Amino acid sequence: MKKTSTLLLIIASVSNISIAQVQRLPLHEVFSSSTCGPCVSGNVNLKTIFNANPLKFTCVKHQCWFPGAGDPYYIVDAQTRLTYYDTDGSLGIPDMYVNGLNKINPQTYNQGQFDAFYAIPSDITINATYDISGTSITVNASITSGTDIAGTSNRLHIAVVERKTVQNTGTNGETSFMYVNMKMLPTASGTVVGPFTANTAITKNATFDMSSTNVEDIWELSVVCWIQDNTDKSVRQSAWGVKMLGADAASPKEAGIISLFPNPASQEASLRYQVKNSNTVKVDVLNSIGQVVYTKNEGVQTAGDYQLDINTKTLSTGLYYVRLTVGNNVITDKLSVVR
């Protein structure tokens, strides 16, 4: 019965899309806990699907306050989002909403369902960047619709997630957790955006000092942005934020890292980055003591999005730093290699 209703929702979404179509990134809002036994297989299954589909999804994990004593990384935002969806009292854990409309147990989620969600176009483009300076994060989002959209029912949601946490280990045997929601900006209720005029960007920004949150490693933070229609809770589009140079950097912001995935990596890690103006590009991987163990000169690249696949097969298990150099601008992100 659940598969049939999901399919009907997908068909309904396709029939209502506008002519101006862009690629959609399906948003996965997952409700889980380190004290929930069934959550283990759900998280393992999701990780397998995400690893098979790099750069094709977004994910926010809401660690919940139940069962038992609950996950120590529970935040009020998780309860707000659960209450938002749970209109009939049927939402539990593990549970997940894909694109806001489709409730699916992460344990049974499969590649066919993922492909169907990815195949649904969107009429919205989100370009988001974030800066980290000290313990503060600043997010800037630009949202553009390909068509006019009347009204103010759409909301921009911003979630600051930590790509991997280990200190919220509970009682279910899990020792690491992915895409854990640390804070929604400004709140879990989001920010009203609209009405939209076709091809005219709406910009929003938010800043927050993350020192008051559960963040384990500021290097591991990432940002997920999405536009959700409050009338039916459908997610029109989602996007990862692009990590830019810190706000205290002296050089202009000419490049950013969109993603480094999978992370941790075993065989290969894909670095996706953005170049704003034509410039020379070089990528280095350094070990924990600063030795360069991999380097790639890309020469001059024009403005655009790029992807570089880094072979990690020959690297020993441990912590590495990926250094992206564009002209005189340097951005560094952390990469874990596991076997």
Q: Which domains does the chain have, with CATH numbers?
A: 1-249 (2.60.40.10), 255-337 (2.60.40.1930)
Note whether 31 and 84 are within 8 A (CB).
no
Which among 207-211, 215-219, 245-249 has the top mean pLDDT? Answer: 207-211
Q: pLDDT class for 174, splitting at 50, 70, 90?
A: very high
Task: Return the beta strands (E) in the chain as ranges.
Answer: 27-32, 58-63, 95-98, 102-104, 124-133, 136-145, 154-165, 177-185, 191-193, 202-209, 221-229, 235-240, 242-244, 255-261, 268-275, 279-287, 292-301, 304-311, 318-326, 329-337
The model's pTM: 0.86
Contacts of 85 (CB under 8 A, 6+ apart): 29, 91, 97, 103, 233
pLDDT of residue 252: 59
Q: What residue spans of 261-324 are helical by DSSP H?
A: none
pLDDT of residue 68: 82
- Does 9 have pLDDT greater than 80? no
329-337, strands of its sheet edge to edge: 292-301, 279-287, 318-326, 329-337
- Does 54 have pLDDT greater than 80? yes
Contacts of 289 (CB under 8 A, 6+ apart): none
Find the mean pLDDT for residues 107-116.
Answer: 98
pLDDT of residue 15: 35
- Does 2 have pLDDT greater than 70? no
Contacts of 151 (CB under 8 A, 6+ apart): 194, 195
In tens, the pLDDT along 272-314 reads 999 988 999 999 999 988 899 999 999 999 999 999 999 999 9
pLDDT of residue 11: 32
Q: What residue spans of the chain are helical by DSSP H?
A: 2-15, 39-52, 76-85, 111-118
d(CA 188, CA 180): 14
Q: pLDDT class for 3, splitting at 50, 70, 90?
A: very low
Place of tokens 């009429």: 123
| Helix/strand/coil for 199 | coil
pLDDT of residue 206: 97
d(CA 141, CA 132): 15
177-185 vs 202-209, strand pairing mode: unpaired
173: left (phi over 0), alpha (psi -120 to 50) or beta: left
- Does 1 have pLDDT greater than 60? no
d(CA 21, CA 304): 20
Specify the amino acid at residue 68: G
When the pLDDT of each residue in the chain is averaged and rounded to a whole number, the result is 90
